[in-house]
Chains A and B, each alone.
Chain A
Amino acid sequence: MSTIETYRDQFRTHAASLPGAGLPWMDELRAAGLDRFSKGGFPTQRNEAWKFTSLRPLEKVTFALAQDGAADSVPVDLIPSVMPVGEAAHRLVFVDGRFRRDLSNMAGLPEGVRLEPLADTLARDPEVVAEHLGRTATLDGHPLLALNLAFLTDGVLLRLAKGVTVETPIELVFIGTGAAVGPVSWHPRILILAEENSEATVVEHHVGLDGAVYFSNVASEVVVGRGARLHHYKMQREGTTAFHLATVTARLARDASYDTFVLNLGAALSRHEARSVLDGTGVECRISGAYAVRGQQHTDITTLIDHAKPRCTSREVVKGVIDDQARAVFQGKIIVRPDAQKTDGYQLNRALLLSDQAEIDSKPELEIYADDVKCSHGATAGELDDAQLFYLRARGIPLEAARGLLIAAYLDEAVDEIRHETVREHFRGRVHAWLEAR
């Protein structure tokens, strides 16, 4: 059976039991998603946007939809959190794609904050979902979003009412345990709606056990309202045999601030695709990230920053370290529309290659249609600096420790883009743990 047929077959089997089944608009959306995916299946490398990332390893595996209740009772010892041990965080936890109420904590949020699993919203208050689902993340040319829409199992609704500020980070935790018999997939949808002048920090953790074969296809839709401030951080530490594909689509209104960072450490194959439309004047958008990969890992950070209105600022710093035969991809596109005068855009992409077989494919792309703009980009790839290494060694620091110091410094510089101190320290700790495992 072809990949497409397999997914169509699964859809026929499961459609009636997926959340929101029977709601005509939801059924239509799912059917549209399946149709779109059926037109070509997973993107191939002939598709320009996927030129450097092959999904063939993913196509070779048949994943069952995370549907049965097996994951509901998998014991979980440790839930990752940026919060100090013992301090409660607001969080939703999903294990093998299934929401785990017993591990989640939605209590204590300020009034005006709505945080719940998306399946709950679909059951009790589907209008909210109808209003937003698929509106920011439109399907044009995006098979993974289409697949997510067709098989949307659960996810997150986070809505911040006008003027509300949440001090404590809100954590969204996705854990892959491999407890199921064969390979499993899940397609969570995260809807974040930050209304006018609200502010919150959202931290996603995607973690999994090494050896567990699963496919996490995450789609996030983010709307940041006028003057609202959203800090959106993501830690990807999937298991070594996992597939992680995420698409984050954001629409930013006037004077909004959207501050994001992704750290890719795990998964056999991962892609983080972030697209932001700066859809009002005075928007500040920060899309940064770091990665550290080894062995046969493949990681891809692909971004699109669309300056649609005047006087917006965007900043993008992506740095990574590639060891062994691992591969990394960075594609960063900035569009400055004719109307977007006084745009201030900055993009920096750097890669550090630690072995002769490591590989980076970097593609910065600027499309500028306005004349009064400041837009700069830089891309470098290289090895550790011999002069720096010698200097450290000449002071008595052994070669491996000297290399470790330089690699840590390299990644720390990217992690420093994270403005939230607690989150920054947590991410830094993870980077250093990666180094110690070298």
Chain B
Amino acid sequence: MALLEIRNLHATVDDKPILKGIDLTINPGEVHAIMGPNGSGKSTLSYVLAGREGYEVTEGSVLFDGVDLLELEPEERAAAGLFLAFQYPVEIPGVTNATFLKEALNAIRKSKGEKELDAMQFLKLIRQKAAQLNMTDEMIKRAVNVGFSGGEKKRNEALQMAVLQPKLAILDETDSGLDIDALKIVAEGVNALRGPERSLLVITHYQRLLDYIVPDVVHVLAHGRIQRTGGKDLALELERNGYGEFGANEAA
């Protein structure tokens, strides 16, 4: 059974149609990339899947692991195994990274009927995951994303993913604002999570990230619809030729 099955998805923002009939199927363990010019609807798709307010689905359906995803609250989607790595991770003053992650992990465990982790078990887990991403204890104790550099914020997203172990992770422009070293660290963190039970949806404007997180399938999104689907070579082709043939002017 497919992990994610999007059928004829239409969505509006402020009554403006953005997604105009998306069809997309992702099977367990697959890595899909969605590439497209600015304004093509890439981020809208990620927010619609994560359940953000203000993104209204007007037509179509999304099945996630056999469940109607669009009926679920954002926290229920997370509990079901959906994870959105934000393009712009949000700063939350006064809430430490440790508290945030512990609340999140235990909420998800609880909703699955699993036992919540106590402080010691959690600390052990988070230290181990953080070390893999070159994150210090100090970053764990700091308020969520407050005072973090662009690279640290993206590493923090990768840490959350590593702790929460989702079935499907959507990476929304994870490469934006990263230098090549930071990009490598984040990509390594993401690749470490790849496995037959975990799927990835990598949303990006540039091909560069796909050198490090190599996709099985590449889709081109433009004007709210998937215009073309191919293998990883499609990304290289786009890098050479731009999105011109899909009607978007790169110079604009």
Residues of A bordering B, CB below 8 Å: 386-388, 390-399, 401-402, 405-406, 408-410, 412-413
Contacts and interface: CB of A to CB of B under 8 A. Distances in A.
Nearest to B85: A394
Contact of B74 (A390, A410, A413): A390
B160 A388 contact: no
B75 A397 contact: yes
Contacts of A405: 95, 99-100, 103
B26 to A, nearest CB: 19
B90 A396 contact: no
Nearest to A405: B95
B90 A391 contact: yes
Taking each of B51, B92, B143, which has the highest tally of chain A beta carbons within 10 Å of its own beta carbon?
Answer: B92
A258 to B, nearest CB: 26
A387 B90 contact: yes
Q: Which 3 A-B pairs have the closest CB atoms?
A: A409-B94, A396-B78, A395-B104
A398 B74 CA distance: 8
A396 B92 contact: no
A109 B106 CA distance: 47
B24 interface: no
A392 B92 contact: yes
Given A386-B53, A390-B74, A391-B89, A397 B103 contact: yes
B203 interface: no
Contacts of B73: 393, 398-399
B210 interface: no
A418 to B, nearest CB: 15
Contacts of A396: 75, 78-79, 104-105, 107-108, 111, 164
Contacts of A393: 51, 73-75, 78
Given A397-B75, A406-B95, A410-B94, A392 B100 contact: yes
B31 interface: no
Describe B's contact surface by its main secondary structure.
Answer: helix
A410 B92 CA distance: 10
A396 to B, nearest CB: 4
B94 A412 contact: yes
Nearest to B163: A395
30 contacts: A388-B92, A390-B50, A392-B92, A392-B100, A392-B104, A393-B51, A393-B73, A393-B78, A394-B50, A394-B78, A394-B83, A394-B86, A395-B78, A395-B100, A395-B104, A395-B164, A396-B78, A396-B79, A396-B104, A396-B111, A396-B164, A397-B75, A397-B100, A398-B73, A398-B107, A401-B103, A401-B107, A408-B94, A409-B92, A413-B93
Interface of B: 50-53, 73-75, 77-79, 83-84, 86, 89-90, 92-95, 99-101, 103-105, 107-108, 111, 143, 160, 164
B38 to A, nearest CB: 21
Given A388-B90, A395-B104, A396-B104, 9 more contacts: A390-B53, A390-B90, A392-B104, A394-B77, A395-B101, A396-B79, A398-B73, A409-B94, A412-B94
Contacts of B143: 409
A388 B53 CA distance: 12
B92 A395 contact: no
A409 B107 contact: no
Contacts of B107: 396-398, 401
B104 A397 contact: yes
A399 B79 CA distance: 13
A230 B52 CA distance: 49
Contacts of B108: 396
Contacts of A399: 73, 75
A413 B78 contact: no
Taking each of B74, B95, B143, which has the highest tally of chain A beta carbons within 10 Å of its own beta carbon?
Answer: B74
A281 to B, nearest CB: 35
B92 A391 contact: yes
Contacts of B90: 387-388, 390-391
A399 B73 CA distance: 9
A424 to B, nearest CB: 14
A408 B84 CA distance: 25
A393 to B, nearest CB: 4
Nearest to A407: B94
A394 B74 CA distance: 5
A128 to B, nearest CB: 45
A413 B50 contact: no
Taking each of B53, B83, B89, B107, which has the highest tally of chain A beta carbons within 10 Å of its own beta carbon?
Answer: B107
A406 B74 contact: no
Contacts of A398: 73, 75, 107
Nearest to B78: A396
B95 to A, nearest CB: 5
